[in-house]
C-alpha cells in the first residue's frame, strides 16, 4: 500500500485494537496506512518494536500517527521483563516520535493504560490525575513512554485505557468469554462490583474523534462511560451465546479464594472487584452503550435479543 498525502499511520494495524482503528478511520473518510510485524493483506509489514527501522517513506506526508502496537502482559522472564518492556513500550515510542517529527507529522496518538495507577481495585472513583504507582513491567514501560510523548513538539494525545473488550478480544476477556460460553453453572449471580471497561468499537471511535477534533485534550482517561458488573456481563453473554443463564450466588470471599486456588487470581481482580473511572469529559460520547457493545462481542447476537437482560 502506497501512502498518500494526509494519510494516518496506524501501528499494530493487524491487532485487536488496530483493526478497529483502521476501520473507524476509513469509515470517517480518512486514509489509514497500517504497519504490522507480519505480512498481512493491504498493510505494510516489517514493523518491529525491537527495531522499528527507517519509516521515513511511510511517515512522509502523514498528518497523524496512532501507536497501537505494544508489548503486552505475557509469560516474561522476570529477570528481563522490565528491560524488554522498556525497549518495546518506551524506546520504540521515542524512536517513532523522533522519526515522525522529522517527517513533519502533526499529531501523535499514544495508547497507554490504567495499569499505570497500580490499582487492582478501589472504592474511589479514579480520575486521570490520580497518583500513578505502576507495579508491573508493562505499566512501568507505558508510564515512561507517556513522559517521552509529552516532550514532543507535535500535538500529542495520551489515552489511558482500561480492559478493552469486543469480538475476538484476547487475554482476560477471552478467558471470561470462554467461561460464559460453557454449559457449566457459574457462581456469578451476585457479583455487582462496578468495573469501568471499554468496547473496542468505542475506543476506535474515540481515537477518530481525537484526530479530527483539534480541541481534544492531551491527556484522556477513557471508558465506556457506563460501568459493568460480572453478573451483567455473564448474563448478557450467555443470552447472546444462546446458553442457559445458570448463575448461582457465592460469597465473594469464597469466590476470591477459589480463583486463588485455581491459580486464576487475575480473573477476580479484573472482573469481581470494583474499579470505577471518571472519564475525561471533552464532548465525545461512546458510539455504543455497554449493553449494546456486549452484544457485539458475539457476532450472531442481535441488539434486540438483549433488551431485557
Return the CATH number at 60: 3.40.50.720
Residue 302 CA to residue 309 CA, distance in Å, equals 13
Domain that holds residue 107: 7-161
Residue 24 CA to residue 209 CA, distance in Å, equals 10
Residue 40 CA to residue 216 CA, distance in Å, equals 32
Q: Are 145 and 89 in contact (CB under 8 A)?
A: yes
> Residue 246 corresponds to which cell in the numbers above?
445458570
Q: Is 178 part of any domain?
A: no
Q: In Å, what is the CA distance from 100 to each residue of 94, 177, 258?
A: 10, 38, 49
Closest by Cα among 109, 93, 181 to 145: 93
Q: What is the pLDDT of residue 263?
A: 82
> Residue 22 corresponds to which cell in the numbers above?
483502521
Residue pLDDT tens, the chain, 309 long: 555 679 999 999 999 999 999 999 999 999 999 999 999 999 999 999 999 999 999 999 999 999 999 998 766 788 899 999 999 999 999 999 999 999 999 999 999 999 999 999 999 999 999 999 999 999 999 999 999 999 999 999 999 999 999 999 999 999 999 999 999 999 999 999 999 999 999 999 999 999 999 999 999 999 999 999 999 999 999 999 999 999 999 999 999 998 888 787 878 888 999 999 999 999 999 999 998 999 899 875 444 444 445
Which is it for the CA torsion 76, 77, 79, 83, positive or negative?
negative
Residue 221 CA to residue 91 CA, distance in Å, equals 23
**Rounded to the nearest 10 degrees, what angle do helices 230-240 and 171-180 cross at?**
60
Q: What is the pLDDT of residue 78?
A: 84
Q: Are 140 and 82 in contact (CB under 8 A)?
A: yes
Q: Which residues sit opposite 164 in a β-bridge?
A: 198
> Residue 264 corresponds to which cell in the numbers above?
486464576
Number of domains forming the structure of the chain: 1
Contacts by 209-217, CB closer than 8 A, 24 or more apart: 209/284, 210/109, 210/157, 210/159, 210/284, 211/8, 211/25, 211/30, 211/64, 211/66, 211/107, 211/109, 212/28, 213/282, 213/283, 213/284, 214/155, 215/282, 216/157, 216/282, 216/284, 217/157, 217/280, 217/282
Q: Is 15 part of any domain?
A: yes
Q: Is 214 part of any domain?
A: no
Q: Is 124 part of any domain?
A: yes
Closest by Cα among 97, 86, 52, 49 to 70: 49
Q: Is 25 part of any domain?
A: yes
Q: What is the pLDDT of residue 301?
A: 43
Residue 5 CA to residue 144 CA, distance in Å, equals 31
Residue 222 CA to residue 146 CA, distance in Å, equals 15
Q: Is 241 part of any domain?
A: no
Q: Are 159 and 112 in contact (CB under 8 A)?
A: yes
- Between β-strands 125-126 and 164-165, what pairing exists: parallel, antiparallel or unpaired? unpaired
- DSSP category for residue 136: S
Q: Is 172 part of any domain?
A: no
Backbone angles phi, psi at 67, to 5 degrees: -95, 95
Q: What is the pLDDT of residue 75?
A: 65
Q: Is 257 part of any domain?
A: no
Amino acid at each position: 500500500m502506497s501512502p498518500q498525502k494526509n494519510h494516518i499511520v496506524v501501528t499494530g494495524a493487524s491487532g485487536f485494537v488496530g483493526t478497529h482503528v483502521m476501520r473507524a478511520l476509513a469509515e470517517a473518510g480518512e486514509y489509514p496506512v497500517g504497519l504490522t510485524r507480519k505480512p498481512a493483506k493491504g498493510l505494510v509489514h516489517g514493523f518491529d518494536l525491537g527495531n522499528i527501522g527507517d519509516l521515513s517513506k511511510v511517515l512522509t506526508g502523514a498528518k497523524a500517527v496512532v501507536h497501537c502496537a505494544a508489548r503486552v502482559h505475557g509469560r516474561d522472564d522476570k529477570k528481563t521483563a522490565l528491560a524488554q518492556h522498556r525497549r518495546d513500550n518506551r524506546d520504540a515510542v521515542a524512536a517513532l516520535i523522533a522519526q515522525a517529527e522529522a517527517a513533519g507529522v502533526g499529531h501523535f496518538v499514544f495508547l497507554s493504560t490504567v495499569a499505570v495507577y497500580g490499582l487492582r481495585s478501589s472504592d474511589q472513583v479514579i480520575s486521570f490525575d490520580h497518583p500513578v504507582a505502576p507495579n508491573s513491567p508493562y505499566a512501568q514501560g507505558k508510564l515512561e513512554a507517556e513522559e517521552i510523548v509529552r516532550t514532543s513538539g507535535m500535538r500529542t494525545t495520551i489515552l489511558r485505557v482500561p480492559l478493552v473488550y469486543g469480538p475476538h478480544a484476547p487475554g482476560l476477556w477471552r478467558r471470561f468469554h470462554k467461561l460464559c460460553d460453557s454449559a457449566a453453572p457459574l457462581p456469578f449471580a451476585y457479583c455487582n462490583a462496578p468495573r469501568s471497561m471499554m468496547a473496542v468499537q468505542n475506543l476506535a471511535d474515540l481515537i477518530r474523534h481525537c484526530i479530527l477534533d483539534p480541541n481534544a485534550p492531551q491527556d484522556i482517561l477513557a471508558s465506556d462511560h457506563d460501568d459493568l458488573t460480572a453478573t451483567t456481563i455473564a448474563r448478557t453473554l450467555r443470552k447472546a451465546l444462546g446458553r442457559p443463564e445458570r448463575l448461582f450466588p457465592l460469597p465473594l470471599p469464597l469466590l476470591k479464594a477459589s480463583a486463588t486456588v485455581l491459580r486464576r487470581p487475575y480473573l477476580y481482580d479484573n472482573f469481581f472487584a470494583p474499579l470505577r473511572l471518571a472519564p475525561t469529559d471533552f464532548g465525545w460520547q461512546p458510539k455504543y452503550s455497554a449493553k449494546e457493545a456486549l452484544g457485539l462481542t458475539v457476532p450472531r447476537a442481535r441488539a434486540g435479543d438483549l433488551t431485557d437482560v
